[in-house]
């Protein structure tokens, strides 16, 4: 048991999927896992452990933003010895080719700041995904026929950003999408020699303004969850 996770030793699997929304963790566990048991309710950040195709897996909410992701990823790694951490969540498309409902696999995640900045000081560290997970996720997406994009994303520390000039430069330089957690997850995975990947569904689009209706999100997010699970146990 840690400050933010009430699970007992052994309650959490070596592989953890991390949606930001705790209720999405509940939905994913009930939809994709068998024998799922709730192992965390501290602060309402739900976590479940169950089985998928004979493999033990935990789905634990991470909250919104890199500081929250940092708290949960640190505790999962240092206190529960988690080896594989895969972010599953939504993102905003930033290129014409990244359509709503498409899946984005983050090869690397740029940011304007992370909780780890005090460690790196003047260094602009480039956090990247685990290549094995990335390769397996791409193979799983291709097999499913899911429209998928691999490349750079932007992990923002603000939801209501007002830097249109920065957005323009990211679009110009091919950044696929924006979200709020992956960069810090990748940094922590590198620090502690663990595997990490972000698999995301484009739920809205920065350029076109299109957004996925709430009643269609679960169906669209299902591909993302299954791709993450197949990648984790490839």
180 marked among binding-site residues: yes
**Closest by Cα among 81, 64, 79 to 18:** 64
Location of structure tokens 């330089």: 173
Closest C-alpha to 73, from 5, 127, 6: 5
Q: Which residues are catalytic?
A: 204
Residue 5, annotated as binding a ligand: no
Is residue 45 marked as binding? no
- Give the E-state strand segments of the chain in sequence order: 15-18, 34-40, 47-52, 55-60, 84-93, 103-111, 148-155, 177-179, 195-205
Is 163 one of the annotated binding-site residues? no
Q: Is 61 annotated as a binding residue?
A: no
Tell me how far CA of residue 5 lies from CA of 159, 167, 186, 204, in angstroms: 25, 35, 21, 31
Q: Is 119 annotated as belonging to a binding site? A: no
* Annotated binding-site residue? 44: no
90 assigned binding-site residue: yes
Asked if 28 contacts 201 with a C-beta cutoff of 8 angstroms, the reply is no
20 appears as a binding residue in the annotation: yes
Give binding residues as ranges.
4, 20, 24, 43, 87-90, 179-181, 203-204
Give binding residues for phosphate as ranges.
20, 24, 43, 87-90
Give binding residues for a purine D-ribonucleoside as ranges.
4, 179-181, 203-204
């Amino acid at each position: 048991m840690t400050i933010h996770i009430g699970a007992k030793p052994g309650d959490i699997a070596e592989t953890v999927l991390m949606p930001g929304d705790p209720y999405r963790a509940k939905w994913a566990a009930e939809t994709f896992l068998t024998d799922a048991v709730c192992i965390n309710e501290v602060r309402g950040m739900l976590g479940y452990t169950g089985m998928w195709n004979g493999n033990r897996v935990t789905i634990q909410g991470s909250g919104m933003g890199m500081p929250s992701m940092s708290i949960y990823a640190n505790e999962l790694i240092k206190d529960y010895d988690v080896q594989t951490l895969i972010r599953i969540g939504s993102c905003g498309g930033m290129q014409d080719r990244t359509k709503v409902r498409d899946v984005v696999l983050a090869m690397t995640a740029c940011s304007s700041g992370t909780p780890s900045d005090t460690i790196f000081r003047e260094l602009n560290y480039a956090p990247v995904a685990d290549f094995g997970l990335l390769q397996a996720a791409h193979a799983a997406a291709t097999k499913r026929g899911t429209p998928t994009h691999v490349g750079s994303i932007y992990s923002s520390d603000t939801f209501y950003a007002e830097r249109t000039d920065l957005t323009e430069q990211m679009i110009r330089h091919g950044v696929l999408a924006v979200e709020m957690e992956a960069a810090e997850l990748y940094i922590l995975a590198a620090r502690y020699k663990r595997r990490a990947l972000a698999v995301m569904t484009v739920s809205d689009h920065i350029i076109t303004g299109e957004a996925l209706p709430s009643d269609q999100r679960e169906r669209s997010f299902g591909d993302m969850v299954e791709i993450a699970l197949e990648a984790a146990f490839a």
